[in-house]
A and B are shown apart, each in its own frame.
Chain A
Amino acid sequence: AQTVTQSQPEMSVQEAETVTLSCTYDTSENNYYLFWYKQPPSRQMILVIRQEAYKQQNATENRFSVNFQKAAKSFSLKISDSQLGDTAMYFCAFMKPLGTDKLIFGTGTRLQVFP
């Protein structure tokens, strides 16, 4: 069975600084997707970034980038130039595609951005 581990329950960063959120996962699959989702206090789930396991290049979306280490089963999220609006819960997620689409989440990291 797949598992997703986020070892940092809480993180804080000063505005304009860079912060990295950690995520590790366990799977015997070779093909899968990894996601980072943001959940602000409104409880809405917002996709931050997605990575396909077969792609060696790390995904980037504006200020958000990932460090995907397939062999180490690590998928960290780097937020550059942190903004107050980045304050939220961040969830790492693993999906086993190709018909089952089973999607599981980590326990989350609460990020607080300070002015």
Chain B
Amino acid sequence: NAGVTQTPKFQVLKTGQSMTLQCAQDMNHNSMYWYRQDPGMGLRLIYYSASEGTTDKGEVPNGYNVSRLNKREFSLRLESAAPSQTSVYFCASYDRVNEKLFFGSGTQLSVL
């Protein structure tokens, strides 16, 4: 039981490059989330998905896209990275039955 797996753990991009952050959970959870964490800003919700095939915007969705093609995976895509997207990104999933939230270990992203 691996929990929530995020890849990569570290990434450096140049402005304008694109990339996809991968997130997978093996706990059969319906709800999944993407957050970014910046100093003094806490964790801000980028997008979330309450079930397979559905996604909703969070607090800071601009510049990001997400994909929930199956129950297990929820990916976050930066189409044209900007320095303002330098942050630590966390993926999470929620167990409605036991009411527990599980976090991935985070991705440190730097955009130069």
CA distance A106 to B59 in the complex (A): 12
Nearest A residue to B51, CB-CB: A99
- Count residues of A near B (Cβ-Cβ below 8 Å): 23
Smallest beta-carbon distance B74→chain A, Å: 13
Q: Is the CB of A104 within 8 A of B100?
A: no
Chain B residues in 8 Å Cβ range of A47: 100-101
Smallest beta-carbon distance B88→chain A, Å: 7
CA distance A106 to B41 in the complex (A): 8
Q: Is the CB of B31 within 8 A of A101?
A: yes
Known contacts A47-B101, A100-B56: does B44 contact A105 (CB below 8 Å)?
yes
Nearest B residue to A9, CB-CB: B40
- Per-residue contact bits, chain B 56-67, to A (CB 8 Å; 1 contact, 0 not): 101100000000
Known contacts A44-B105, A47-B101: does B44 contact A101 (CB below 8 Å)?
no
Q: Please report which residues of chain A, range 6-42, place their CB below 8 angstroms from some CB of chain B when the two chains form the complex.
A: 6, 9, 33, 35, 37
- Count residues of B near A (Cβ-Cβ below 8 Å): 26
Task: Count A/B pairs, Cβ under 8 Å.
Answer: 54
Smallest beta-carbon distance A2→chain B, Å: 10
Q: Is the CB of A44 within 8 A of B50?
A: no
Chain A residues in 8 Å Cβ range of B40: 9, 107
Q: When the two chains form the complex, which single residue of B48, B59, B100, B105 contacts A101, counting CB atoms closer than 8 Å?
A: B48
Q: Is the CB of A107 within 8 A of B45?
A: no
On B, residues with C-beta under 8 Å from A are: 30-31, 33, 35, 40-45, 48, 50, 56, 58-59, 88, 90, 92, 94, 96, 99-101, 103, 105-106
Given contacts A44-B103, A99-B50, 6 further A-B contacts (CB under 8 A): A45-B101, A45-B103, A95-B94, A100-B56, A101-B48, A105-B45
What are 24 A-B residue pairs whose CB atoms fall within 8 Å in the complex?
Answer: A6-B42, A43-B88, A43-B106, A44-B103, A45-B90, A45-B101, A45-B103, A91-B42, A91-B43, A95-B94, A97-B96, A99-B50, A101-B48, A101-B96, A102-B48, A102-B58, A103-B33, A103-B45, A104-B45, A104-B58, A105-B35, A105-B45, A106-B42, A107-B42
